[in-house]
Structure 1
Amino acid sequence: MMMVRRSKGLTDKHKKVLEFVNEYQTQHGRPPSIREIGEKVKISSTSVVNYYLQQLENMGYIERDNRVSRGMRLTDKVHQIVQAGNMLRIPILGPIAAGQPLPELQPGLSYTDNEADAVDIARSLLPSKEKGDNLYALRVQGDSMIDAMINDGDIVVMKQTSEAHNGEMVAIWLPNNNEATLKYFFKEKDRYRLQPANPTMKPIYIKKTEPLEIKGKVVMVIRKVDKPLAV
């Protein structure tokens, strides 16, 4: 077994691993495998990739669950990997349901005037195509997206948009119900399917004749780390 030394700080390789994990999670809805990380950052040995991941875990930048395949999450400590000048402050506008929809995303409604209610994100951790424009954050309530490694209390960073492709995770406003929800989005023949990432929950179906507003799509997930670990 390879002994993992405590790193004195983040190297360029550490940063590249974090950037790729975030980008892959955004695109695929799940973390990458160790082999995929190695291919991206040009490390041929999976044991060396695991070595870097263990260092990142020891430093508090990721959290892993070895009982789950691809069980890896970025923590809210990632903002410390760059200097303050490279940070992006994103307002947390309020809660979004990941279980039952909540009446939160009303168009034109401001959630809070408290500037402290925000999250600082390292620009280098955003997907490479994102420049940081039109971003906002929502705090997840509920457990319908747990198989996408999004838990109650986590923060999702959203890109404001009114359009989405099949399979993208989006925040959707349902005017008829005065509700909003966070789900995977799919267009079907005569309806929209809002799919949870929890096998115990059923999808929400909305007829195409009914109003539906896409308010943003997920570009990054920040794990809440102040919850006690289960024993």
Structure 2
Amino acid sequence: MPPRITERRKDILRLIARMERELGRSISASELSEALRMTKQALADHLTAFEALGLVTRHRGRYGLLQLTRQGARVAGMLSGVPVVGRVAAGQPILAEQNIEREIDRVRDLLRLGDQDFFLRVQGDSMTGAGIHDGDLVAICASAEVLDGEIAAVILPGENTGTLKRFYRQGERVLLRSENDHYEPMEFPAEDVQVQGRYAGHIALSRPRRSLGQD
């Protein structure tokens, strides 16, 4: 399970952003520890979580400098756009800098998206029955629980990138269905399927009509 972004951690990110802005440079872990009146060991736990989520980059040199990433600035409230992820890759933070193609403004409130949510660019035709086509942008709520029958972004066993499927729990196994009769249902042990988030709506780029609600 990925580390959680608590309100305390958001406060720390906001402080990093403010110190960077006021000092005009990256700050050290020691400077941040002093500003927070927090021990270096306690701060290290937060910084490890930030790194795992792609929110902060730590430079391991003499001064241990920290740098807020674009996603870190977004969580800190410095950016308001929703990132577009070209693909969801296994083994790395979804919102890592290298995954983000661009950002879309003025849709966060419409789709009720949070700081960790994102758009995923659709590849393929497995979900056309749900009105989701190749090239569309699908809004994914990363922190939302996925209920039976809902569409989810998942990473399958043996695969390196994410895909969209209807999600069904069956005891200790998971059944994944496409919205296209050309694709057979797939069943896996639940522990082998990485759920990246729940579908919240999409923007239909491949056709004239745009959808900003759940179909």
In the superposition, the TM-score normalised over structure 2's length comes to 0.52
The partner residue of 1:92 within 84, 87, 90 is 84
Number of residue pairs aligned between Structure 1 and Structure 2? 130
Q: Which runs of structure 2 are paired with 1:1-231 in the superposition (5 Å)?
A: 88-95=80-87, 104-108=89-93, 112-113=97-98, 117-126=102-111, 130=112, 132-161=114-143, 163-208=145-190, 210-225=191-206
Quick one: distance in 2 between partners of 1:89 and 1:155?
A: 14
Offset, 1:163: 3.6
Deviations 1:42-82 (A, max 9, x none): xxxxxxxxxxxxxxxxxxxxxxxxxxxxxxxxxxxxxxxxx
* SS, match of residue 119 in structure 2: strand
Aligned partners of 1:93 and 1:111 also within 8 Å: no
Offset at 1:168? 1.3
User: In 1, Cα distance between the equivalents of 2:195 and 2:99?
Assistant: 25
Aligned residue identity for 1:220:
G
1:93–1:189 Cα change, 3 Å:
same
Whichever residue aligns with residue 158 of structure 1, its letter is: I
Contact 2:153 2:195 in 1 (8 A): yes
Structure 1 counterpart SS, 2:87? strand
Q: 1:91: Cα distance to partner?
A: 0.7
Structure 2: gaps of 5 or more residues: 1-78, 209-215
CA, structure 1 residues 169+195, in 2 after alignment: closer, same or farther (shift >3 Å)?
same
Deviations 1:119-172 (A, max 9, x none): 22434522xxx3533211110000000010000000011111274210111111
Report the Cα distance in structure 1 between the residues aligned to 2:174 and 2:101, rounded to whole angstroms. Answer: 36
Opposite residue 215 of structure 1, the aligned amino acid is Q
CA distance, structure 1, for counterparts of residue 163 and residue 184 of structure 2: 13
How much has 1:225 moved relative to structure 2?
4.3
Distance in 2 between the 1:147 and 1:207 partners?
Answer: 26
Amino acid at match of 1:94: G
**2-side partners of 1:120 and 1:189: how far apart?**
40
Question: Identity across aligned pairs (percent)?
Answer: 32
> SS in structure 2 opposite 1:117?
strand
Give the letter for the 1:151 counterpart. Answer: H
* Distance change (3 Å), C-alpha of 1:157 and 1:136: same
